[in-house]
């Protein structure tokens, strides 16, 4: 006897439903004996061996850098960009989307900022390093090796990045990002 493909699919679905029901019934009789976990309230004693100090760009400084980068782009008749400032782990510290910026510019700005922060170099420079066939730097999740990201460093160590996405040329993005970054260096003087 030959079954039609519709009949075969229907029989397969019915078998899955029966098997799932039998599994639920069998598991219902097993008591939950997960061990109770006591909450730990032991304080951690700060020392160089167990606490890592982190440099971060402050909230107001981040907001100002993003604002200046956006104003720079708008001054160049580029109202359709997004600017993001992220810490070295890629967590957004500040983000500003231009009035006419498409949604994809949000991810582009964040990824450019993270790439610059993670590698400690402008993304325009990093883009020249991405060559060859097969897996490479460009395959790392959350990174974008296009011009528009600038690292932010404290004593030579990358602590954050600012990225711009949406201009018709990545070097225009990077010029705006560099203007935002410059507000942080001038504020430190």
- pLDDT tens per residue, range 20-39: 454 444 455 555 555 555 66
How far is residue 105's CA from residue 69's CA, in Å, rounded to a whole number?
Answer: 14
CA gap 125, 58 in Å, rounded = 27
Residue 18 lies in a domain: no
- Burial label for 128, CB within 10 Å (0-12, 13-18, 19+), is exposed
Q: With pLDDT > 70 as the criterion, what percentage of the chain qualifies?
A: 76
pLDDT score, position 44? 75
Q: Which residues does residue 153 pair with via DSSP β-bridges, in sequence order?
A: 158
The answer to whether residue 20 sits within a structural domain is: no
pTM confidence score = 0.73
CATH number at residue 182: 3.30.450.150
Mean pLDDT over the full length of the chain: 82
In a domain, 37, yes or no: no
For 3, 61, 81, 142, the CA distances from 123, given in Å and listed in that order, are 59, 22, 17, 13
Query: pLDDT tens digit string along 151-172?
Result: 999 999 999 999 999 999 999 9
Q: Is residue 25 part of a domain?
A: no
51 belongs to a structural domain: no
C-alpha closest to that of 72 among 187, 188, 174: 174
């Amino acid at each position: 006897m030959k079954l039609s493909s519709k009949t075969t699919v229907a029989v397969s679905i019915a078998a899955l439903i029966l098997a799932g029901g039998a599994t639920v019934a069998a598991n219902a009789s097993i008591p939950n004996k997960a061990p109770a976990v006591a909450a730990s309230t032991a304080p951690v004693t700060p020392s160089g061996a167990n606490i890592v100090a982190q440099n971060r760009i402050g909230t107001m400084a981040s907001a100002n850098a993003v604002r200046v980068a956006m104003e720079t782009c708008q001054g160049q008749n580029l109202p359709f960009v997004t600017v993001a400032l992220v810490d070295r782990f890629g967590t957004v510290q500040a983000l500003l989307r231009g009035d006419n910026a498409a949604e994809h510019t949000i991810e582009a700005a964040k990824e450019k900022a993270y790439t610059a922060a993670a590698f400690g170099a402008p993304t325009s420079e990093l883009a020249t390093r991405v060559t060859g066939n097969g897996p490479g730097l460009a395959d790392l999740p959350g990174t974008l090796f296009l011009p528009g990201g600038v690292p932010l460093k404290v004593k030579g160590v990358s602590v954050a990045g600012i990225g711009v996405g949406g201009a018709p040329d990545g070097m225009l993005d990077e010029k705006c990002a560099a203007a935002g970054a410059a507000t942080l260096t001038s504020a430190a003087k």
